[in-house]
Amino acid sequence: MLDCIFCKIIKNQIPSSKIYEDEELLAFHDIHPIARVHFMIIPKVHLDSLDRCTVVHQSLLGKMLLLASKLAKEQGLENGFRTMINTGHGGGQEVFHLHVHVFGGDALIPRT
């Protein structure tokens, strides 16, 4: 999609603080963190949201969740972490490109 901010990040048209990249996935720190550690994992293929995924995406979704655990530990979250996938307007999704939030560490940082 031409106007998708995450697609632009994937294409290096918008800078990001990358922590992981391979042929299918990209992970980077959230620009509005809600915890000491807060990053997102996105697929390089554009998928609007989780409810657009099918059985074809099963392997990709599994890879995203396994990567979440690996990166959380690498980012210092040995004691645990949270994952969140906002889906659709009613689910709080703001960027319509599938993404998994991974966060933890200190108490959640209140947004102002």
pLDDT tens-digit readout, 56-105: 999 999 999 999 999 999 999 999 999 999 999 999 999 999 999 999 98
* Sign of the dihedral through C-alpha 82, 111, 17, 86: positive
Beta bridge pairs of residue 29: 39
Domain extent, residue 54, equals 5-104
Total domain count, the chain: 1
107: confidence class by pLDDT, cuts 50, 70, 90: low
Residue linked to tokens 């995450």: 6
Q: Stretch 29-35: mean pLDDT, rounded? A: 95
Residue 112 lies in a domain: no
Residue 10 has pLDDT above 60, yes or no: yes
Residue 91 lies in a domain: yes
CATH for 60: 3.30.428.10
In this structure, are residues 105 and 35 in contact, taking their beta carbons and an 8 Å threshold? yes
Task: Give the helix/strand (H/E) hosting 67.
Answer: helix 58-74
**99 classed as catalytic:** yes
Which DSSP category does 109 fall into? P
Residue 110 lies in a domain: no
Instruction: Write the single-letter amino acid at 92.
Output: G
Q: Which residue is catalytic, options 38, 97, 99, 101?
A: 99
In this structure, are residues 54 and 103 in contact, taking their beta carbons and an 8 Å threshold? no
